[in-house]
Amino acid sequence: MTTFEKDDAILLLSDGTLIKGKSFGSKGTVIGEIVFNTGITGYQEVLTDPSYFGQLITFTYPELGNTGVNSEDNESDSPYAKGVIVRNFARTPSNWRANITFEKWLKEENVVGIYGVDTRELVRHLRSSGTMNALICSELKEVSLSSLLERIQAAPIMKGLNLAEKVTTTKFYKWDTTAIPEFDKRLKLEPQIPFKVVAIDFGIKRSILNRLVAHGCEVVVLPSNAGYKDVLDLEPEGIFFSNGPGDPAAVKEGIDLAKRLIEERDLPMFGICLGHQILGLALGGKTFKLTYGHRGLNHPCGISGRVEITSQNHGFALEAESLNSNNVDITHLNLNDGTVAGIAMCNRPVFGIQYHPEASPGPHDADYHFARFAEVMSERR
């Protein structure tokens, strides 16, 4: 048994690494895959992104909470991450848009936090050892570290998990265009009649829906288990496959849907992140788990001399060698490690990108992919 102070917290990794810190946010014990995000802004958007479902997020930026939390920047109704790991946090925000402090928000949303962690050392460890399951515990008193380690090692690992089914909508709905924040109304294309788009929700972000609308789309969102008939009954001009958490190879219904639509319908299709991987799997490709993933706002992607700085959040990638070059072009590579960052069918209007062009948070270099999708639909009218 080990005795701790009242406000102590620990971070315990499945390889036995123990890091001591202080508790903030909600108190409790949570287990999940530990990952790291290298962005210097956007903690509210990151924590409410469904793609982080069940994960413990290490933020490399040394202080969080300076801008508090506001009512507009959430990517979903509430945080999907289980825990937050930081060096330090601001107790008093300084931003005119803030409605609540960062810590109070975490408490209200039952997100467990630990601060006082040397996040540089932790990230160096994760980069060399890879992502793994970990535990944050702030209800210590007297606790057995061996029993906590057993709980971590008994928890399921990310590979093989279909988490899209945990975060998807349970019903069809039309995205409310009045919900678009004023600052996000960067219109690129304004057709007289909106493009009818069906979005398959594997963990879709609000900012993606807003960008589709801003590019002239009328979007109906369907659950991740939507069937072929469900999609076609809506008579879409285009189909969007969203981002989401978990192992893409485990999302069997989404892969089967994409495969049938590709084989039987000549419709424009666009996938982002998990949706991009699902399109690749439907085209006969394979995916693999990255050692520590790509999560940040400054990943360079490109091919043939064109480079765009991108926002990324994923732990799996498509195997380049598994893609049939007679049918699929690799359009973008992650220039840090050479992994596949974009694909397109050679003779069909089907394409996907591994990164997040909606830039919430992040750079706007890749926003043109939404216009690309809209333009393909416009050409077919």
CB 121 within 8 A of CB 58: no
Q: Is 137 a catalytic site residue?
A: no
Among candidates 193, 181, 23, 218, which has minimal Cα distance to 106?
A: 23
Q: Is 72 a catalytic site residue?
A: no
Give the whole-angstrom CA distance, residue 121 versus residue 326.
Answer: 45
Catalytic-role residue among 137, 217, 273, 301:
273
Q: How far is CA 162 from the centre of its chain?
A: 14
Catalytic-role residue among 276, 299, 332, 356:
356
Catalytic-role residue among 75, 103, 165, 358:
358
Q: Is 356 a catalytic site residue?
A: yes
CB 120 within 8 A of CB 61: no
CB 51 within 8 A of CB 245: yes
By annotation, the residues acting in catalysis are 273, 356, 358
